[in-house]
Amino acid sequence: MSSAVDTLWLRTIIRYFRSKSRIIESLATPLFFLLILGFGLNSVSTIPGTGHSFIIFLIPGIITMAVLFTSVFSGIQIIWDRQFGFLKETLIAPVSRNSIMIGQTLGGATTAIIEGMIILVLSLFIGGSFPSVLGFLIAISFMVLISISFTSLGIAIASRMEDMYGFQMIMNFLIMPIFFLSGALFPLTNAPTVLKAIAYVNPLTYGVEGIRYGFLGVSAINPLISFAVLTGFCIIMVFLGGYLFNKLKV
């Protein structure tokens, strides 16, 4: 099992680093939001209760964005492998489907964390910083939970589809509202009641607030609650992804 997981994980990482256009494309949108939206509103917005400028408040949300989008769209590799026959060869190998799913999940999650770390490093050049080493570790922990959760979700959906364009449409329809209603781009404390209620049932909200706590030392939700909710969601998504992947037919 370990050998199969390691092999599939390594394959995903190698494919990621070989595809320079994919790296640039996946970083383009988060950087666009960070630089254009951040600098555009930075001069007129200071987040109440934190003392931080808008662009500093925005950085954790943009890190989450990079991790989220890379995670969910890594599921398209399942459809790609199915169309080119690699998935069939993998499934008939003497390894369990759970091992294959875990390898794919860890590979997708690792690439997502790499994307998030790139945004994190770049943010340091525009004023971002961590209050402590513990804050850095907290932010990384939430990045790991987000990446595993939404990579598993992407694999779960891809396991039920055969068309990669349909997969992209469904994921855009699903992921865009999840991101925009997570508090990544606006403070929950000042949000209208309806938006705040939606945000609190959105699992990504707890990831955003966890990273924000690690990055800024303050958050709208207690970090322990955020960690517990996101861990629970992560476990559910891993089991869901494994269940649907085991039902996959080629």
Q: Does 47 have pLDDT greater than 60?
A: no
pLDDT at 67 (0 to 100) = 93
Find the mean pLDDT for residues 105-134: 84
pLDDT band at 17 (very low <50, low <70, confident <90, very high): confident
User: In Å, how far from its chain's centre is CA 41?
Assistant: 25
Residue 155 and residue 242: Cα distance in Å, rounded? 8
Find the mean pLDDT for residues 223-249: 92
Residue 102 and residue 237: Cα distance in Å, rounded? 12
Residue 106 and residue 243: Cα distance in Å, rounded? 16
Phi-psi label, residue 171: left if phi above 0, alpha if psi -120 to 50, beta otherwise? alpha
Determine what percent of the chain is predicted with pLDDT higher than 70: 90
Of 2, 169, 136, 157, nearest to 71 by C-alpha is 157
For the segment 151-182, what is each residue's pLDDT rounded down to a tens digit?
A: 999 999 888 887 777 787 888 788 889 998 89
Q: Does 50 have pLDDT greater than 90?
A: no
User: In Å, how far from its chain's centre is CA 80?
Assistant: 20
Across the chain, mean pLDDT equals: 83
Of 235, 191, 234, 228, nearest to 210 by C-alpha is 228
Number of domains in the chain: 1
Question: Which residues form the domain of 185?
Answer: 2-246
